[in-house]
């Protein structure tokens, strides 16, 4: 981060992390939100190529892990096609970070022996998922980028055989000071989210491990509440 001449950073990267980069580096925001891409993916690929061919040291700074729904593979394919050398520093993917900060182990000998990480939005912007692979018992399913399709995801899981009372959680802005966790079941989590309006970015965790949240939570409002502090309304959202 201190060696880069140019930093291309995402919306999931906090200001505090960006500030760790070299002070005189050119910082280019290329973040993406649903239906609001500051720079299209093809444009990001081209920027990486252009800056590198200018002889600059380029840092592509992402939140999470670049190889788990981070499009890191697509960007490196573009660099490889132009014989541009690169190296990758792995990150901590959101499923691991957010579940940990929410007190929800993704695996547990009594509840889940496997985990599936799934995107809630495919490249063609549909949710045509293989639900038969997502309904197995003793399995935790984590949906990335699925907040806006939560009703569809829950409905399809139930229709394909997942019990309606399967625990589910929405973790909003996980690991940050604004983290909020919403707990429900497949039957009511979409309705609860419609009322609570927890903000993106958010992860959806489905599985029996969600039951552990109440006992294992250690970060955020619940911890403050245990110390007798006055808390803001859990349903409050930013203006």
Span 164-181, pLDDT tens digits: 999 999 999 999 999 999
Average pLDDT over every residue of 110-126: 82
Buried b (16+ CB within 10 A) or exposed e, 191-210: ebbeebebeebbbbbbbbbb
Report residue 37's pLDDT band, with 50, 70 and 90 as the boundaries: low
User: Which residues are identified as catalytic?
Assistant: 10, 32
Residue 124: which pLDDT band, with cuts at 50, 70 and 90? low
Assigned domain for 239 exists:
no
CB 19: neighbour CB atoms within 10 A?
10
Count: domains in the chain: 2
Given a contact cutoff of 8 angstroms between Cβ atoms, the answer to whether 73 and 81 are in contact is no
Residue 220 pLDDT level (bands cut at 50, 70, 90) = confident
Residue 230: per-residue pLDDT: 39
Q: At 136, which CATH number?
A: 3.30.950.10
Does residue 216 share a domain with residue 136? yes
**What range does the domain containing 20 cover?**
6-81
This prediction has a pTM of 0.86
Query: What is the pLDDT, as a whole number, of residue 62?
Result: 94
Render the burial of 79-94: b for 16+ CB within 10 Å, e for the rest: beeeeeeeeeeebebb
């Amino acid at each position: 981060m201190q060696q880069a001449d140019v930093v291309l950073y995402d919306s999931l990267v906090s200001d505090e992390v960006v500030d760790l980069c070299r002070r005189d580096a050119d910082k280019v925001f290329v973040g993406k939100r649903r239906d609001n891409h500051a720079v299209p993916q093809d444009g990001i690929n081209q920027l990486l190529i252009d800056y590198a061919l200018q002889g600059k040291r380029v840092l592509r700074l992402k939140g999470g892990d670049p190889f788990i729904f981070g499009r890191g593979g697509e960007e490196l394919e573009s660099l490889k096609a132009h014989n541009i050398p690169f190296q990758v520093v792995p990150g901590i993917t959101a499923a691991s970070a957010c579940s940990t900060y929410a007190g929800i182990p993704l695996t547990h000998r009594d509840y889940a022996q496997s985990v599936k990480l799934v995107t809630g939005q495919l490249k063609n912007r549909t949710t045509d998922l293989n639900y038969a692979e997502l309904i197995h018992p003793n399995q935790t399913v984590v949906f990335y980028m699925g907040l806006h399709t939560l009703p569809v995801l829950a409905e399809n899981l139930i229709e394909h055989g997942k019990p309606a009372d399967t625990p589910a959680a929405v973790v909003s802005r996980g690991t940050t000071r604004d983290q909020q966790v919403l707990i429900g079941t497949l039957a009511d989590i979409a309705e609860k989210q419609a009322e609570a309006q927890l903000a993106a970015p958010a992860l959806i965790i489905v599985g029996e491990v969600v039951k552990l949240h109440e006992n294992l939570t250690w970060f955020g409002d619940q911890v403050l509440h245990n110390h007798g502090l006055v808390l803001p309304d859990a349903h409050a959202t930013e203006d």
